[in-house]
């Protein structure tokens, strides 16, 4: 069980660290467009090779399942693109705090699309998330106008798209192995990036060592190693316990942004982040409670 928790922590750290390092990549001349496309292409290739290597069979897709993969992949593509663009104009810690509204968007999608009734914990979670976002955006403190409007909109868009990806994957792609879902949606992201922002820079600008290094770092660590740690951790300790550890991604990101970038959040913003984390716990309270009281030995 100890190894399972270690894998979960390593996965959470591997998701958080590259987000902070995005700032350093931009200082070395990369752009949101080049970084997103390069890392996603590298990740897609590595994931397909890994799936082939471990012998996971590729499913036969129908028109319906192909459309479902496309819709989930579109959410993933928008999530990553909007996040990297937001980080280029606003502090990493603020962007990630905005993005972590995604559980609220999942709950709201289930409410409006599936007509699923909210339980008291989910209603409380929505209030916590809303209040937390308002504190983070300094609405109550009167400093909202000092933040980047573009950064705020992109951060919220990333959170909404992430929520959509999770919602649609759970709703329509649950019959497929998680590794297949990850690999196929990554391929969809590559195709969409090729259409939305053709990588002309590969032919018009010099390919520098920083571009190669950062692209490999993000593609390998953020989108492959982190996922492998995640799947291993879930297999060892279960999804419920893993979900508890994964909540730590937000505070780890905020801490790393403080240590490596010198970013600081005031007390009210930290309170807002705490409220958002509380909302995440409340949204999935049954799973969290089951994990906390379970005495199963893995």
82 neighbors 20 (Cβ within 8 angstroms): no
Kindly state the tokens that stand for 94.
């603020």
Give residue 297's pLDDT: 39
219 neighbors 38 (Cβ within 8 angstroms): yes
pLDDT at residue 78 greater than cutoff 80: yes
Alpha-carbon torsion 132, 138, 140, 141, what sign?
A: positive
Residue-averaged pLDDT of the chain: 89
Each residue's pLDDT tens digit, 81-124: 999 999 999 999 999 999 999 999 999 999 999 998 989 999 99
Give residue 137's pLDDT: 87
Contacts of 235 (CB under 8 A, 6+ apart): 4
């Amino acid at each position: 069980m100890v190894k399972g928790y270690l894998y979960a922590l390593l996965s959470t750290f591997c998701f958080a660290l590259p987000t902070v390092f995005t700032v350093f990549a931009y200082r070395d001349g990369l752009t949101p467009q080049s970084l997103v496309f390069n890392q996603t292409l590298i990740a897609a290739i590595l994931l397909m090779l890994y799936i082939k290597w471990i012998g996971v069979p590729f499913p036969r897709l129908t028109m319906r399942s192909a459309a479902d993969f496309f819709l989930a992949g579109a959410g993933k593509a928008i999530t990553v693109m909007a996040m990297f663009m937001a980080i280029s104009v606003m502090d990493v810690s603020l962007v990630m705090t905005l993005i972590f509204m995604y559980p609220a968007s999942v709950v709201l999608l289930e409410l409006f699309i599936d007509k699923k009734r909210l339980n008291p914990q989910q209603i409380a979670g929505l209030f916590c998330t809303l209040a937390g976002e308002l504190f983070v955006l300094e609405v109550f403190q009167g400093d909202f106008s000092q933040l980047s409007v573009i950064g705020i909109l992109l951060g919220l868009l990333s959170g909404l798209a992430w929520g959509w990806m999770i919602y649609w994957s759970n709703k329509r792609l649950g019959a497929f192995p998680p590794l297949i879902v990850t690999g196929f949606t990554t391929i969809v992201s590559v195709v969409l990036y090729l259409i939305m922002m053709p990588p002309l820079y590969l032919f018009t600008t010099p390919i520098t060592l920083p571009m190669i290094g950062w692209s490999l770092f993000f593609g390998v660590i953020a989108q492959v190693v982190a996922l492998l740690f995640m799947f291993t951790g879930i297999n060892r300790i279960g999804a419920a316990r893993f979900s508890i550890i994964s909540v730590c991604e937000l505070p780890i990101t905020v801490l790393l942004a403080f240590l490596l970038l010198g970013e600081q959040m005031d007390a009210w913003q930290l309170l807002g982040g705490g409220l958002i984390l509380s909302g995440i716990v409340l949204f999935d309270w049954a799973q969290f409670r089951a994990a906390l009281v379970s005495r199963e030995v893995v």
